[in-house]
Structure 1
């Protein structure tokens, strides 16, 4: 009788154990989770509040993460229309997808541009940067994006 009980419990328990390992999708981290620990081979996502249709967005900037430790695998956005009468006025999320390559520590640096005129690019610098010196972004210790451009720095440790 015991072998049957062990076999009956093995599948549900292994599914439960593997669910924390990303079996059912990559682990997702928000703006308040700036210290991330993952295992080599794990996929993970940074999920940040944004409204790209209103000019509020996030961008990966230099220095980029060490590609020997973390590899960027993509990005996408999801937006919701909060009011059908407001064209493009919905809130949403910006997602940055990564894969942990091998053991080590690296940083992922993102800039939050709260409105379309707060950040710009040039031919010499294709990465977004603040449009005026009064908008110089600084790392923020809070998990909530503010109304000025800000850098959000994530420290990723791959085990």
Structure 2
């Protein structure tokens, strides 16, 4: 292979590697930039909690994990029933609509429990922490609407 062809091959390979690395970095940067903070991250990493607050919030989180598990199971079951109803019916039947309603009820119950959990944790915070918490939660909720 001549020196000219070697130079062309090396240039093409370097361009491919550079474009792949650039694409990977861009995707990762965009994903991290748009990923809202979790409630756990907001409370434990962004607020300066006292040891007592940390203990109380840890207990609240453990309690919520126990309450959340059956709500998530109910949501998964409703989703399976919805999938079965769609597979068994042609079109938007009464059975499909009933399954959609069941799914929405399960999703709503989980969302209400999650909001109650957030307010329960907020009750442990001091006034300045609560303001920071509210702002971070509002920002996280608004991420999807941007």
TM-score strictly above 0.5: no
* Larger Rg computed on CA atoms: 2
Q: Per residue, is there more strand in 1 or in 2?
A: 1
Q: With the length of structure 1 as denominator, give the TM-score of the two structures.
A: 0.30
Q: TM-score, with normalisation over the residues of structure 2?
A: 0.32
Structure number with the bigger relative contact order (C-alpha 8 A, sep ≥ 6) is: 2
